[in-house]
Structure 1
């Protein structure tokens, strides 16, 4: 398909971002800046939504150029898949869960930094409990995407950003859970829309050798990275510039994933995935 995944987000044809958030028990392990994986993930998603709100301000009004779903898996019960919140951007802006005071370092204008208090709207709280029903989360996502495209066939192809710290696990065999997740993710990546196929980008939080945007499974040394490769979309041309902007190197067949991401890579990857491509906001 020519120029797939290149349609601009606009108020007339909003984009659709789905954050899939692993909320399993292991997300309680420590990660960065004194926070657990789950706390850091919530922080990054909250910041990302706030940045999207700021980018889409028109005077006092937030333009609804994107619809966001946050889907948690694990979390509320061992095998739960929860629609934490699905709303247009302006609704997030108008109705945060709460406001949190954060310390932020800003320039003092004389080459130094000063710390100021900043109020940040919170839309998702950290949760870490239960197993990792990733395939079920993908199945629910597939239903959401099919419903969206039925109503909005001319809109940009949806983007799924899956954030997890491990392989799928539902209490039985990990191989079966992995195969189920691979199977559903492929079904999603084969859905057709006027703007091409939905994109799945994966960010894995862990420790060990980092891999990102690889072109072949043969370049990967561990099962985790190989699994992520299988469930990630090839990065379309329209997103290559967004990847470069975040200091990621892409090649012609690169898939959109990062394995064993540290805090900086995690933030850069979410910026890449939520950008709607490089300059695609109209």
Structure 2
């Protein structure tokens, strides 16, 4: 399982579920709100994905399709350009269709020992939102529908990757049954991978990629652990390469995650669909793969 080659004939699928409930308006540590920080992380992931799929002649190769489901005041497709009729977009269309381009200031060395502020253009595909309850069951149910349709059309592809990012308890029921159905959606290469990232400002320390629920502080943390898939070999190796103490059976779950850990995990969780170094990305004539 989880060995299918990813190319334009057999793209991969990445679906992010983003908590947009009112509690996401809370400050995350000493930084901005959880909603703002999470939107920044998601947009950074999308921007990096565009770069990784880019060829030197300005083409973006469609190694995967991506979607974002936001859940708060309503369950909605949150990636700009998606809707109920088209819940996923090829990465080339993501590249061509940001919601807007923001200008942010970045610190850089001035070459004389000082630091200067330099403007940088940043594409935005997903806006920060914080409103309403936490309808996680509804979001997972929509994810199941999207992935079932995708897998029926991509039976030979790498299984879908689902990453749920949340700070709260589901307000519309127990999410475990529908999470199990999401994990049961499959291609010929295996069942979908579902990972969960819990954001919190509590004093309890981070729990990163555990292989059991024993170190978790409460029933809710154990519930999210139960909903999470075990890391495939290539993801476990990627996590170990970043310094994580990965034990056999480690699951794709972060509890009380801090911003740096979330950014790193988004990289780990999408490692199989990162096409850097593939033949098609080398300079040369257009490929047909």
Give me the TM-score of the superposition, normalised by structure 1: 0.88
Contact 2:159 2:190 in 1 (8 A): yes
> SS at the partner of 2:78?
strand
For 1:174, the equivalent position in structure 2 comes to none
* Match status 1:230 vs 2:226: yes
Deviations 1:135-187 (A, max 9, x none): 111111111111001111111100001000011113xxxxxx23xx1111112
Contact 1:17 1:69 in 2 (8 A): yes
Size of the alignment, in residue pairs?
267
Of 141, 163, 169, 2:143 maps to 141
* Match status 1:262 vs 2:227: no
Q: Which runs of 5+ in 1 are unaligned?
A: 171-176
Higher strand proportion (structure 1 or 2)? 1
For 1:61, the equivalent position in structure 2 comes to 59
C-alpha distance in 1 between matches for 2:106 and 2:198: 27
1:45-60 → structure 2 map (5 Å cutoff): 45-59=42-56, 60=58
Shift of 1:96: 0.6
| Distance 1:212-1:87 versus aligned 2 partners, 3 A rule | same
C-alpha distance in 2 between matches for 1:248 and 1:196: 25
C-alpha distance in 1 between matches for 2:142 and 2:191: 17
Shift of 1:221: 2.2
Shift of 1:88: 1.0
1:74-153 → structure 2 map (5 Å cutoff): 74=72, 77=73, 80-85=74-79, 86-108=88-110, 113-153=115-155
RMSD of aligned Cα (Å): 1.9
C-alpha distance in 1 between matches for 2:21 and 2:162: 19
C-alpha distance in 2 between matches for 1:107 and 1:250: 36
Shift of 1:112: 6.1
Deviations 1:187-219 (A, max 9, x none): 222233211110011111002221111111223
Q: Which runs of 5+ in 2 are unaligned?
A: 80-87, 279-289
Contact 1:190 1:197 in 2 (8 A): yes
Give me the TM-score of the superposition, normalised by structure 2: 0.86
Contact 2:101 2:123 in 1 (8 A): yes
